[in-house]
A = this chain, B = another copy of it.
Amino acid sequence: MAGPANFLTRNKSIILYGIFLAVLLFLLKWLELRFLIINHAFEIYAGSIAVLFTALGIWLALKLTKPKTILIEKEIFTERTGAFILNEKELTKLNISKRELEVLQLMSEGLSNQEIASKLFVSLNTIKTHNARLFEKLEVKRRTQAIETAKKLSLIP
């Protein structure tokens, strides 16, 4: 088998060629470095174009396309219990006035006293008075109970 020295002599030309190539590459690199500014100028130019036209593309897309829309259907549940029939007998029996019934209905819809007051264009205190009378007549202590009872008596839907 041939030793390392033998290997070197046998491939001398190839090695030299390799070294020559390396040097050449180095020179080229050096030259490239010298023209760094020029080269970079080009790259900067190209980069600027890239950035600018990317922006242009985005702008174009945003301006000229119809906005994507996703339709989300939100379910609103509504009662359809045929027709609500007000129990007028009970109403008379309990001596509940129109206004009180009105307040009762709004109450059952989840409105606060203030909201009811605003809706009926009266003061908060008035609603409180109506409530007090209602609770008395319905023999309950809270609005939630009033709603329960009123529904059972078919005073409200």
Task: Tell me the count of chain A residues lying within 8 A, CB to CB, of chain B.
Answer: 49
Whether A72 lies near B75 (C-beta < 8 A) is no
| A110, chain B: closest CB distance, angstroms | 3
Protomer copies: 2
| A105, chain B: closest CB distance, angstroms | 12
Whether B57 lies near A148 (C-beta < 8 A) is no
Docked CA distance A46–B44 (Å): 12
Which residues of A come within 8 Å of B, CB atoms? 45-46, 49-62, 65, 67-81, 107-112, 140, 142-149, 152-153
With a cutoff of 8 Å between Cβ atoms, the chain B residues found around residue A46 in the complex are: 45-46, 49
With a cutoff of 8 Å between Cβ atoms, the chain B residues found around residue A54 in the complex are: 53-54, 56-57, 60
Q: A69 touches which one: B61, B62, B70, B112 (CB < 8 A)?
A: B70
